[in-house]
Amino acid sequence: MAGILANFRNTVILSVILALVMIIAYSQSPHGMDAAFWQAVARWLHVFFGILWIGLLYYFNFVQIRKMPDVPAELKPGVTKYIAPEALFWFRWGAVGTLVMGIVVMATRGGGYGKEVMTLGLADGYSAADKGYTLMGVGAYLAIIMFLNVWVIIWPNQKIALGLVEADADAKAKAGRIAMLASRTNMLLSIPMLTSMTMTQTLFG
């Protein structure tokens, strides 16, 4: 066991195998392997990628950005050259996985669900029953804005700030500040976004 745990890749493989055992067990529910089963599998992957993405967003905001000013100049490259690029890799691809699986969850819900969510409940006329779509739609749009923020603002500016592309010191400092503010914006949007993701299913089904 220590041999597996000492190796990151083997640990992830074992974790996925254990999850697959659970998923096979869930296939024995009254739903069998119908559309609801695949929706549930998509939700599992959606939440996994969501944790990977937002977990790293929270690492940047709760830990790295706040502590960097205290790190002595000669130690800063340890973070900017080694830790941050790796964190940003999982961060931006975690965002892709979350968005893709969010869209799959929507698609597997079928019955015009995606259309209602993306129009905030306005598709086919608005009634009191559409409130849940409005609230879910707000969360989905917040998360999509956060996704675009990652790929259009944070990552291109981080590449400059971390020296992954050529730039002078001035441009690096400016890009670092833009990336920090964009990351803070995602921090700001993340907590309200999570209300839609977590409350809709229980309260609106």
Which of 102, 176 has the CB closer to ligand HEM? 102
Shortest distance, position 199 Cβ to ligand HEM, whole Å: 8
| Rounded least distance, CB 48 to ligand HEM, Å | 9
51 touches ligand HEM (CB under 6 A): yes
Residue type present at position 9 = R
Say if CB 158 and CB 88 are below 8 A apart: yes
Q: How far is the CB of 113 from ligand HEM (least distance, A)?
A: 8
In the list 60, 80, 87, 98, the residue contacting ligand HEM (rule: CB under 6 A) is 98
x/- map, 164-203, ligand HEM, by CB under 6 A: ---------------------------------xx-xx--
Closer to ligand HEM by Cβ: residue 101 or 175? 101
Crossing angle (nearest 10°) for helices 169-204 and 35-58: 140
Identity of the amino acid at 115: K
Q: Is residue 42 within the footprint of ligand HEM (CB under 6 A)? A: no
Is 19 buried (19+), middle (13-18) or exposed (0-12) by CB count in 10 A? middle
| Cβ-based nearer residue to ligand HEM, 36 or 65 | 36
Query: Rounded CA gap, 137 and 120, in Å?
Result: 5
Return contacts of 58-65, CB within 8 angstroms, 24+ apart: 58/187, 58/190, 59/87, 60/87, 60/91, 60/183, 61/183, 61/184, 61/187, 65/180, 65/183, 65/184
Residue 56 binding ligand HEM, by CB under 6 A: no
Residues in contact with ligand HEM by the rule CB under 6 A? 43, 46-47, 50-51, 53-54, 98-99, 102-103, 105-106, 136, 140, 143-144, 147, 197-198, 200-201
